[in-house]
Structure 1
Amino acid sequence: MVFEVCRALRKDATAIPVEILDVIVTSLLSHNRRFCAIANISLVSSRLRLIAFRRYFETLEVRSPRHWDKSCRILGMFNWVRKMRVAASDVQSNMDALSSFGSLRSLEIDFSSDGLSTQKTRCSLLFKSLTADLTVLKLTSLPRIDTALLSLVASRFPSLTTLELSSTERLDKECCWLCFEESSSCTIHSPVPDVFPSIEVLANAYGRALQPLENLEYLFLGVFLSDADVLSCHFDRCASVVISSPRTGFYSSPPFGPDKCVICTAEHGAAVHERERLASGIVEKILPSLKTVGWSSHFSEHGSGADRRTKTTIFCTRTLKVKVDSTR
């Protein structure tokens, strides 16, 4: 298909409106985001090459430090990139290059390589190199979500309409109970009551920290609003469970969270839902522009499912309603 398009365009590419060329390139990239999708078509004419590069580099997903360094050598790319996904560790070799992305509007940063002691410094260095015109910011695998981070985000990116911060995906349920428990000790996944004495204090602190964001419409804060000991009690109760086997005698059950524990759900599910409504209502009063507020949650109507992050989304209307949205 690409070769047929190239032959047709080569005859008289200048006679075709730019809008049609743009649609052709967009269609090619919708099926394949690799550079080979536009390699041939970019050779047809200089005008088509510019359109192809602009559309291809509209979204930049940095795969490694080497990929980042090579990408930064493409000077025209800095004006084309509008959406970027990157791991914080991948850009540390040339962090200053971030300041050249003047057209960047949507950014997603993975902090899985950072710890509690490095998060503050890493965020400060990254944010000072980024354009203040971002409208969408997503920070994933954060070691913690605190008021210092929220205040930094609010002061640096006043134009945000969508903000997603999450730390709960750092919990490792893929290996064993020991890894699950150890990962929970390296993440502030449940700030109540160790960091904040109550849900009201947490919601007020988070809301006030984000108050400068007057255009914010969609907010997701990936922390659990259940008490921290919900998870620790779950470990005490379920990590020692063994399953009998005719071949090996017994083996430990695979790790699972409170969302799949009948006892945890019965004891805490309803109370956590009320906490989520309460916290969302408080945040909504401080940030009247909000349309939705989301939280990570152990407990949802449908459960988290395999390899999913469970979110409880509160729609900010006069009568608050809870919608459970389980997504990657």
Structure 2
Amino acid sequence: MTANEATQVGAETAAQSSAQAPRLTSLSHGGGCGCKIAPGVLSELLARNEAPLPAPAALLVGTETSDDAAVYQLNDEQAIIATTDFFMPIVDNPFDFGRIAATNALSDIYAMGGKPIFALAIVGMPINVLPHETIREILRGGESICAEAGIPIAGGHSIDSVEPIYGLAALGVVHPKRLKRNADAQAGDVLVLGKPLGVGVMSAALKKNQLDDEGYRCMIDATTRLNRVGPALAALPGVHALTDVTGFGLLGHTLEMCRGANLAAYLRMSDVPLFDGVRELADKGCITGASGRNWASYGKSVELGERITERDRDLLCDPQTAGGLLVSCAPGAVDDVLAVFRADGFDAAGIVGAMRPGTPGVRVI
């Protein structure tokens, strides 16, 4: 089934059940990766009062650099990648919600340079509120994306919850020498972003009934496009670091890259790709609360140039769901990186900035 066919099937199912089911987004206080706990609050929650147990040498990636997944080396040829991601509805169409949540969860595997091998479903649903057919459609949407990725959903866990929650625990594999952390950027690297920004704005517009059909189509196309270029990017000699841009926005995830590598970064606002119409929607007030929480958490580590507006800041902090890969690569590797993106249909991929020596932080010009 093609992506267009999947969207059509989901739309037909939603139409059939719309008369009896409440809007999915009406049942959640936040949607997609905009549900994430703000970075500053999360840091406080994860602060340790006691010294942690020493990690085994085989644990190649843990919690130290806020990376996309944990990685454990099995042998000289294989390391296993483990991650989990789940959230509340970002759209009302149940099939699309399932597809988006699965795409977002698998992205962490690709962001480490690996390939997914199987997943487990994480399901929390208000059983007495949502029709069972709606819930089945959410699950079917996730299964369709996993099928596209070539993996099974091999099990999972479900609970009866107040708000609808869906996602995956995903496992993948990577050769230890092809593993890409978010902390291995080098001074002089160029930053390349694979998808446009604006998913949070579009989701806010959808909730306010201000997103037109074309905007919805663009949103679904982006949030259900697997970042399966990760392994091909990781195989390029000049690629040093990878991450995916999700709930903390482009600024937040760039800052994580800076802190991990002990480097500074700059972003050129005019080069940052945005979805068509997103700035206009933002001007109409379609901004998520997560955007402001993100800025409050890490704004002190960001310097905004004199020409950068408050609206620019909102867009750079906009929480992305199933966002693009952010690549830190040597200047000589840029053409190869862009060629990998273009070959898989990521036409908006482009250079957005660079890494520089300096105190960890981001400057936007």
Query: TM range, normalised to the smaller chain?
Result: under 0.3
Structure showing greater relative contact order (alpha-carbon pairs closer than 8 Å, 6 or more residues apart): 2
**Based on CA coordinates, which of the two structures has the bigger radius of gyration?**
1
TM-score (norm 1): 0.22
By percentage of residues, which structure has more helix?
A: 1
TM-score (norm 2): 0.21
